[in-house]
Amino acid sequence: MGMRTQPHDIEVPEKEPFRDDLLNRKESVEILTELIANFEGPCVLALDAEWGNGKTTFLRMWSRHLRNLKFPVVEFNAWETDFAEQPFLALSGELTRGLKDYADESLEKKIDRTKELTKELLVQAVPIGLRLASASLGVASLTNVGDIFESLVTEKLDAYSEAQNSIRKFRRTLHETAENLWKKKEHPLVVMIDELDRCRPSYAVE
């Protein structure tokens, strides 16, 4: 019989998140819920513990508890998107999908706008090397390749400014969406990012 090194996932029922709560996490969850419910403006909380100490289970319990209280919650597993070159695009894409669960007609336009901005950022993030290779697949002189490269560098600088502008627009639209959710749900939007410590360092930092 082989030895098991991966711990079993603890089942966290949606309607009874603390049913198998042998470590009495409920008290901590309720304290944190009270904290974010009364916090004015955006805030960031970090859950710190060694690997295998139950951070993911805690977040599952908390997210289900929040949903039962009608909080809008979006969950993002960073490790599952570690393959992506652009962490911001992965996060913004997951946010857009997650917010759809809470959208009514008045929010649909806001959320669709975040999707449009994500697409803009995706186009602007195409690497120069890839586009240079695509542009010079045919037989070209060194001068032509140099002209192509110069053109792409100029385009990249312009794209950087456009990307910065798109990010600002995305943040503003997300802020407006969160405010609208607050008014409708009377609770703040909660975004939970899990498994960040399992990501490659460059991805986690970005």
Q: Cα 63 to the chain's mean position, in Å?
A: 15
Identify the pLDDT of residue 61. 95
Segment (H or E) for 192: strand 190-194
Domain boundary assignment for the chain: 84-185
Identify the pLDDT of residue 31. 95
Helix locations, the chain, DSSP H: 26-38, 55-68, 87-99, 105-124, 128-135, 142-185, 201-205
Identify the pLDDT of residue 140. 47
Length of the chain: 206
Nearest alpha-carbon partner for 166 in 202, 121, 102: 121
d(CA 139, CA 115): 38
Identify the pLDDT of residue 160. 66
Nearest alpha-carbon partner for 138 in 123, 153, 148: 148
Angle, helices 142-185/128-135, rounded to nearest 10 degrees: 140
d(CA 173, CA 121): 14
The two structure tokens encoding residue 135: 């542009």
Nearest 5°: phi and psi at 194? -115, 160
Strand partners, 77: 194
Nearest alpha-carbon partner for 202 in 93, 89, 94, 82: 82
Q: Which residue in the block uniquely carries the two structure tokens 């060194």?
A: 142
Residue type present at position 93: G
pTM score over 0.85 = no
Q: One digit per residue, pLDDT tens: the chain, 206 residues?
A: 455 555 567 789 889 999 988 889 999 999 999 999 998 888 889 888 888 888 999 999 999 999 999 999 999 888 888 887 777 777 877 887 887 777 665 556 655 666 665 665 555 554 444 444 444 444 444 445 455 555 655 666 666 677 677 777 777 877 887 888 888 878 888 999 898 888 888 877 77
